[in-house]
Protein backbone atom coordinates (compact mmCIF):
# COMPACT_ATOMS: atom_id res chain seq x y z
CA UNK A 1 0.00 0.00 0.00
CA UNK A 2 1.26 3.47 -0.84
CA UNK A 3 0.09 6.34 1.38
CA UNK A 4 0.91 10.00 0.89
CA UNK A 5 1.23 10.74 4.61
CA UNK A 6 2.16 8.87 7.75
CA UNK A 7 -0.61 7.22 9.67
CA UNK A 8 -1.81 8.83 12.87
CA UNK A 9 -4.12 11.69 13.87
CA UNK A 10 -4.88 15.17 12.60
CA UNK A 11 -6.98 16.92 15.26
CA UNK A 12 -9.93 19.11 14.28
CA UNK A 13 -7.95 22.22 15.26
CA UNK A 14 -5.34 21.41 12.59
CA UNK A 15 -7.63 20.37 9.73
CA UNK A 16 -7.85 22.79 6.80
CA UNK A 17 -10.22 23.14 3.87
CA UNK A 18 -8.88 21.35 0.80
CA UNK A 19 -6.58 19.08 2.83
CA UNK A 20 -6.25 15.79 0.93
CA UNK A 21 -4.93 12.35 1.78
CA UNK A 22 -4.84 9.14 -0.23
CA UNK A 23 -3.65 5.60 -0.50
CA UNK A 24 -3.04 3.29 -3.43
CA UNK A 25 -3.65 -0.44 -3.28
CA UNK A 26 -3.68 -3.26 -5.78
CA UNK A 27 -6.83 -5.34 -5.19
CA UNK A 28 -5.80 -8.99 -5.19
CA UNK A 29 -7.67 -12.28 -5.45
CA UNK A 30 -6.73 -12.85 -1.80
CA UNK A 31 -8.33 -9.51 -0.82
CA UNK A 32 -11.56 -10.51 -2.55
CA UNK A 33 -11.57 -13.96 -0.97
CA UNK A 34 -10.88 -12.53 2.51
CA UNK A 35 -13.60 -9.91 2.09
CA UNK A 36 -16.07 -12.62 1.05
CA UNK A 37 -15.16 -14.62 4.13
CA UNK A 38 -15.44 -11.68 6.55
CA UNK A 39 -18.60 -10.19 5.02
CA UNK A 40 -20.20 -13.57 4.17
CA UNK A 41 -20.93 -12.17 0.67
CA UNK A 42 -20.06 -15.09 -1.60
CA UNK A 43 -21.78 -13.75 -4.72
CA UNK A 44 -20.18 -15.70 -7.59
CA UNK A 45 -19.62 -12.48 -9.58
CA UNK A 46 -16.77 -11.92 -7.12
CA UNK A 47 -15.44 -15.47 -6.75
CA UNK A 48 -16.26 -17.61 -9.81
CA UNK A 49 -14.70 -16.61 -13.12
CA UNK A 50 -16.84 -19.06 -15.14
CA UNK A 51 -20.00 -17.55 -13.67
CA UNK A 52 -18.77 -13.94 -13.85
CA UNK A 53 -17.70 -14.07 -17.50
CA UNK A 54 -21.38 -14.42 -18.48
CA UNK A 55 -22.45 -11.30 -16.52
CA UNK A 56 -22.55 -7.68 -17.67
CA UNK A 57 -19.03 -7.35 -16.25
CA UNK A 58 -17.55 -10.14 -18.45
CA UNK A 59 -15.40 -11.30 -15.55
CA UNK A 60 -14.92 -11.20 -11.81
CA UNK A 61 -15.15 -7.93 -9.89
CA UNK A 62 -14.25 -6.90 -6.38
CA UNK A 63 -17.00 -6.25 -3.85
CA UNK A 64 -18.04 -2.60 -3.99
CA UNK A 65 -17.72 -2.36 -0.23
CA UNK A 66 -14.15 -3.64 -0.41
CA UNK A 67 -13.39 -0.60 -2.57
CA UNK A 68 -15.34 1.64 -0.17
CA UNK A 69 -13.27 0.17 2.66
CA UNK A 70 -10.21 1.86 1.17
CA UNK A 71 -11.93 5.21 1.77
CA UNK A 72 -12.51 4.13 5.36
CA UNK A 73 -8.81 3.31 5.65
CA UNK A 74 -7.78 6.80 4.53
CA UNK A 75 -10.26 8.39 6.97
CA UNK A 76 -9.35 6.13 9.89
CA UNK A 77 -5.60 6.17 9.38
CA UNK A 78 -4.77 9.57 7.85
CA UNK A 79 -7.51 12.21 7.64
CA UNK A 80 -8.54 12.84 10.32
CA UNK A 81 -6.98 9.51 11.34
CA UNK A 82 -6.87 7.60 14.60
CA UNK A 83 -9.80 8.41 16.88
CA UNK A 84 -12.12 9.48 14.03
CA UNK A 85 -15.75 8.36 14.25
CA UNK A 86 -17.82 7.85 11.10
CA UNK A 87 -21.19 9.62 11.22
CA UNK A 88 -22.35 9.03 7.65
CA UNK A 89 -21.25 8.09 4.17
CA UNK A 90 -22.81 8.27 0.72
CA UNK A 91 -21.47 6.12 -2.10
CA UNK A 92 -22.03 5.92 -5.82
CA UNK A 93 -20.42 3.00 -7.60
CA UNK A 94 -19.48 4.08 -11.11
CA UNK A 95 -17.42 1.23 -12.54
CA UNK A 96 -16.17 -2.19 -11.45
CA UNK A 97 -12.86 -2.86 -9.77
CA UNK A 98 -11.22 -6.04 -10.99
CA UNK A 99 -8.59 -8.28 -9.45
CA UNK A 100 -5.20 -6.72 -10.20
CA UNK A 101 -6.50 -3.13 -10.42
CA UNK A 102 -4.54 -0.41 -8.63
CA UNK A 103 -7.11 1.69 -6.76
CA UNK A 104 -6.37 5.26 -5.72
CA UNK A 105 -8.60 6.09 -2.72
CA UNK A 106 -8.66 9.79 -1.89
CA UNK A 107 -10.47 12.04 0.58
CA UNK A 108 -10.59 15.84 0.59
CA UNK A 109 -11.86 18.18 3.29
CA UNK A 110 -14.86 20.17 1.99
CA UNK A 111 -16.34 21.41 5.27
CA UNK A 112 -15.32 21.97 8.88
CA UNK A 113 -17.56 22.65 11.89
CA UNK A 114 -15.04 23.28 14.66
CA UNK A 115 -17.68 23.69 17.39
CA UNK A 116 -19.23 20.28 16.66
CA UNK A 117 -15.93 18.62 15.62
CA UNK A 118 -17.57 17.62 12.32
CA UNK A 119 -15.64 17.30 9.07
CA UNK A 120 -17.19 16.86 5.62
CA UNK A 121 -15.08 14.88 3.17
CA UNK A 122 -15.34 14.36 -0.57
CA UNK A 123 -14.44 10.73 -1.24
CA UNK A 124 -13.36 9.11 -4.49
CA UNK A 125 -11.69 6.00 -5.84
CA UNK A 126 -10.06 5.84 -9.24
CA UNK A 127 -8.56 3.11 -11.40
CA UNK A 128 -6.26 4.30 -14.20
CA UNK A 129 -7.53 7.84 -13.61
CA UNK A 130 -11.18 6.85 -14.10
CA UNK A 131 -13.68 7.17 -11.24
CA UNK A 132 -15.00 3.87 -9.88
CA UNK A 133 -16.57 5.29 -6.69
CA UNK A 134 -17.65 8.74 -5.49
CA UNK A 135 -19.24 9.86 -2.27
CA UNK A 136 -19.22 12.11 0.75
CA UNK A 137 -18.50 11.36 4.39
CA UNK A 138 -19.26 13.13 7.63
CA UNK A 139 -16.96 12.31 10.51
CA UNK A 140 -16.40 13.34 14.11
CA UNK A 141 -12.75 14.34 14.34
CA UNK A 142 -10.52 14.01 17.40
CA UNK A 143 -9.79 17.22 19.33
CA UNK A 144 -6.74 18.35 21.23
CA UNK A 145 -9.16 19.41 24.01
CA UNK A 146 -10.79 16.02 24.57
CA UNK A 147 -8.56 13.27 23.22
Q: Give residue-wise pLDDT tens across range 118-139.
A: 999 999 999 999 999 999 999 9
| Mean pLDDT, the chain, whole residue set | 95
In which band, very low, low, confident or very high, does the pLDDT at 6 lie, cut at 50, 70 and 90? confident
SS3 (DSSP) at 76: helix
Are 24 and 103 a contacting pair, CB within 8 Å? Answer: yes
SS3 (DSSP) at 62: coil
**Any idea of the CA torsion for 61, 128, 66, 49, to the nearest 10 degrees?**
10
Q: Considering only 31-40, 127-136, 137-146, which range has the smallest mean pLDDT?
A: 137-146
pLDDT at 146: 62
Question: Has residue 5 got a pLDDT over 80?
Answer: no
Question: Has residue 147 got a pLDDT over 80?
Answer: no
What's the predicted TM-score (pTM) here?
0.93
Burial class (CB in 10 A: 0-12, 13-18, 19+), 126: buried
Instruction: Give exposure, 86-106, as e/b (b: 16+ Cβ within 10 Å).
Output: eeebebebeebbbbebebbbb
Question: Has residue 34 got a pLDDT over 80?
Answer: yes
Closest CA to 83 of 39, 108, 117: 117
Amino acid sequence: MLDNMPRGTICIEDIEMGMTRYLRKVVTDEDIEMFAKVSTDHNPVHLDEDYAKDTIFSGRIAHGMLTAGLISAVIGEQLPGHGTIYMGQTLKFMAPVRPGDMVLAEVEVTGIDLAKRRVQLDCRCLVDGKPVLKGEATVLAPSKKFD
